[in-house]
Chains A and B, each alone.
Chain A
Amino acid sequence: MTETYTIEGGPVELHRSSFDVADFPLPTGREEDWRFTPLDRLRGLLDGGPSDGRLSWTTDLPEGVELTTVGAGDPYLRSVPKPVDRVGVLTLANATDGAVVLRVPANAEPSAPAVIRLAGNGGDVVWGHVILDIGANAQVSVVIEHSGSARYAGELSVLVGDGAKLKLVSVQGWDSDAVHVQHTGVRLGKDASIASTQITLGGDLVRFVETVEYTGPGGDAEMAGLYIADAGQHQEHRLFVDHSAPKCRSNVTYKGALQGEGAHTVWVGDVLIRATAEGTDTYEMNRNLVLTDGTRADSVPNLEIETGEIVGAGHASTTGRFDDEQLFYLQARGISEEEARRLVVRGFFAELIHKIGIPDLQDRLLAAIEAELGGEPEAAISAVTEENA
């Protein structure tokens, strides 16, 4: 495994994807894409066969959205974006039930978000493949909420048809012992758009890899993320946006806060603009707010550009703690330090929360952030995964 990068391409260009497990040997921890992940805490997701573990599903589906199962072996399951690491390829191999497919017909515009709640109840490793198949010109919001305790390897395939618009929110509100490793493979058709928000609060280890590919011009990916890591938690978000079609756009905004001994967050944002992707417009941003001692924030934005004929490309990454001046300003106006800190953090995340556009979820998220700041991560988890909200 020394040939991770070779000559012509940099690390970004050489992202691999495959349906064959042989293409992804067992990582040692030295590989570029595994070097931040504590492999010993993956507990069985890097190896092993099919299992009896399942998550319990509850759904809330508006009219026009249907949920079906496609059996293992169906060629449809190989028409989705390929897995990008060993966990992903094992997930497809071990998901003996096949995949659950949420299908939105062409031109449909369901009035309410489709909600999928996935709950773990401990026990065996769960291998799960979920496909969101959005027909041409449809417009829909999908919310996926995770809670409970699980060791969950997930492959989420997101197919957005020509001209369709998908709003996707994924909430990781796991119990503190959960392990969740997932690849979200997004494929955008011509003039299709996705506005995705990852909300990662719970779990012992959460590792998300999101990839975006474009099949025609006019695609638009708005990828956002919000994470709060508490003591001992490892939260990793990796993105790879592969601009291969002309006149597409991508914008990545991830913001995180860290508090407590051993809280570790990783953000890696890779963008490749291929020579064929003239007229690309891309920007990536990661901001980390460090709230206490003993945390670690890794932030790695990588950009490879093979054509000069672009609208714009850039990235920014900052890591810092509270701005003392802001605090001082607020305190000078009679606001207590605690309240001032709360305002600063709320302001930090506000931009992302308001963009979600699902009021009930926004309220729950605000409540969760309050609880996190109050030093009650469990209360935060129950606030955000509140089922009867």
Chain B
Amino acid sequence: MSTVSHPELEGIGRYEFGWADSDDAGATAQRGLSEAVVRDISAKKNEPEWMLNQRLKGLKLFAKKPMPTWGSDLSGIDFDNIKYFVRSTEKQATSWDDLPDDIKNTYDKLGIPEAEKQRLVAGVAAQYESEVVYHQINEELEKQGVIFVDTDTGLREYPELFQEYFGSVIPVGDNKFASLNTSVWSGGSFIYVPKGVHVEIPLQAYFRINTENMGQFERTLIIADEGSYVHYVEGCTAPIYSSDSLHSAVVEIVVKKNARVRYTTIQNWSNNVYNLVTKRATAAEGATMEWVDGNIGSKVTMKYPAIYLLGEHAKGETLSIAFAGEGQHQDAGAKMVHAAPHTSSSIVSKSVARGGGRTSYRGLIQVLEGSHHSASTVRCDALLVDTISRSDTYPYVDVREDDVAMGHEATVSKVSEDQLFYLMSRGMTEEEAMAMIVRGFVEPIARELPMEYALELNRLIELQMEGAVG
């Protein structure tokens, strides 16, 4: 049975966003990291003193902290060869027509203006290299007091709100890459949703790296005030170059009493991007935080979105999906920290590995003392499509309280010949059958995605099947 090959799946991870635009800004950008680089970024942005100090502190801590020795192979990152800040356009555009042609073409190809035209989104931010180049928000929301701007603008225009929350969820010294991000961050989204406001259609952001050896360090800060709701969606792509780029974002989310935030990521970086991201949310009393985390691209991803359940009856949910093809390692998972009574969390993870790719689930469930009547369930399923791929599961559970219910379950399976045979005997080609099995496997998560992303995911799986016919 092991000799049956599955060429129809060869294309998972085949990359269709790999074109590169002309790159004048990137060509002149400085490589390497130093105090001068950090001061220069801060000066270019006319930042207040406290932010410069934060950046310098981040730089010091970054230098001091050792590289993680667990997880993926990070030895390929050459910090001296990375361009830490690339400014591609001087002025932020508010209409597509104002964008430079290169950038506009890129986002046209990604289909963003379409989504906006069809009112599928309530607001859009597009980040190209280090800065947000396009920004638009629904007028209605603006009137309700919803703030949705890029993070640099957030710092300029809402200094008090910004300073109160920046670094409050992920401190500057949290980990090596959070320190790095704090020292050179640029771009990202700053969102504030006032009390009781429900943003019914998602806010979206698109991140694109164009320059070779670029480091993109966006910083996103979302504050959902009491009783509010917002859904934020981000998509990420990059060209294919022969040498590596680095994406190291920090996302901080504060979900206040009875508010709900859903954060969806479809990460489809090209296979030369190291994607090392710190994402964390705090959920107050009665609040709900949901991460929907899709990892399809990148060379290496290490990302474990976290939720700190700080108030009674707070709820956390993470849905994680990962595809690893040839040369890819998706080391993804989730963290839940129960710090109050009656909190609940659930993690569902699905991964597919093929062509020698590797998927790892790495998770942490921590129940602190006093968090009685808490409950948590973790479910991880991995699908191996061939014999050369690998899959690992490293869940970790730490319970310091007796009155809790905790469950973890994992399975690893291969696509069974029986399933294939059954579907093929019903008239399907092997490609169609394989696609159906893979789609069925990821369906519980795909259905949680916004429609256009769910379609995108299905299309991706389907595309791979088509590729095999020729």
Contacts and interface: CB of A to CB of B under 8 A. Distances in A.
A11 B402 contact: no
Interface in B82-129: none
A5 B331 CA distance: 15
Contact of A319 (B389, B391, B396, B399): B399
Interface stretch (A208-216, A248-256, A292-300): A292-300
Contact of A320 (B70, B404, B409): B404
Contacts of A312: 411-413
Contacts of B406: 317-320
A302 B73 contact: no
A301 B395 contact: yes
A40 interface: no
B384 interface: yes
Given A308-B414, A312-B413, A300 B397 contact: yes
A207 to B, nearest CB: 18
Given A5-B69, A8-B73, A306-B390, A316 B408 contact: yes
B399 A308 contact: no
B78 interface: no
Interface in B381-433: 382, 384-414
Contact of A301 (B75, B410, B414): B410
Contacts of A296: 398-400
Contact of A315 (B66, B75, B393, B404): B393
Given A7-B73, A296-B399, A296-B400, A310 B414 contact: yes
A304 interface: yes
A313 interface: yes
A315 B412 CA distance: 9
Interface in B138-161: none
B2 interface: yes
B393 A302 contact: yes
A168 to B, nearest CB: 28
Contacts of B392: 10, 12, 302-305
Nearest to B402: A290
A379 B342 CA distance: 37
A245 to B, nearest CB: 16
A299 B402 contact: no
Contacts of A306: 390
B393 A301 contact: yes
B interface secondary structure, majority: strand
A114 to B, nearest CB: 38
Interface string A308-335: 1110111111111100000000000000
Given A297-B399, A321-B404, A314 B394 contact: no
A69 interface: no
Contacts of B2: 278, 309
A7 B404 CA distance: 36
Contacts of A320: 404-407
B407 A317 contact: yes
B360 interface: yes
Given A308-B384, A319-B406, A302 B394 contact: yes
Given A292-B402, A305-B412, A318 B390 contact: no
Nearest to A259: B402
B393 A298 contact: no
Given A8-B73, A302-B392, A314-B409, A319 B404 contact: yes
Interface in A337-374: none
A8 B69 CA distance: 11
A291 B403 CA distance: 9
A296 B400 CA distance: 5
A307 interface: yes
A323 to B, nearest CB: 9
A266 to B, nearest CB: 10
Contacts of A309: 1-2, 387, 414
B412 A313 contact: yes
B395 A316 contact: no
A298 B400 CA distance: 9
Contacts of B413: 312-313
A375 B386 CA distance: 53
Contacts of B75: 7
A305 B394 contact: no
Most central of A290, A308, A310, A315 by chain B CB within 10 Å: A308
Nearest to A308: B384
A321 B393 CA distance: 25
B387 A278 contact: yes
A31 B402 CA distance: 27
Interface string B345-383: 000000001000000100000000000000000000010
A300 B399 CA distance: 11
B142 to A, nearest CB: 48
Contact of B390 (A4, A278, A304): A304
Nearest to A303: B393
Contacts of A295: 402
B73 to A, nearest CB: 4
Interface in B64-79: 66, 69-70, 72-73, 75
B69 A314 contact: no
B400 A305 contact: no
A28 interface: no
B370 to A, nearest CB: 11
Contact of B408 (A3, A6, A10, A318): A318
Nearest to B398: A298
A321 B399 CA distance: 12
A290 B396 CA distance: 18
B409 A316 contact: yes
A363 B390 CA distance: 45
Contact of B411 (A7, A292, A313): A313
A310 B1 CA distance: 11
A4 B403 CA distance: 34
A5 B70 contact: yes
A68 interface: no
B341 to A, nearest CB: 13
A308 B409 contact: no
B272 to A, nearest CB: 18
Nearest to A298: B398
Nearest to B401: A293
Contacts of B402: 258, 290-295, 321
A316 B387 contact: no
Contacts of B384: 305, 307-308, 310
A10 B72 CA distance: 9
Interface in A1-58: 2-8, 10-12
Contact of A314 (B353, B388, B411): B411
Contacts of A299: 397, 408
12 contacts: A6-B69, A7-B75, A12-B392, A290-B399, A293-B401, A297-B399, A298-B398, A299-B397, A306-B390, A307-B388, A315-B410, A317-B395
Given A317-B397, A320-B406, A321-B404, 13 more contacts: A5-B69, A7-B73, A293-B401, A293-B402, A295-B402, A302-B394, A308-B389, A314-B409, A316-B407, A317-B395, A319-B399, A319-B404, A321-B405
**Shortest beta-carbon contacts, A-B, top 5:** A308-B384, A7-B73, A314-B411, A319-B406, A290-B402
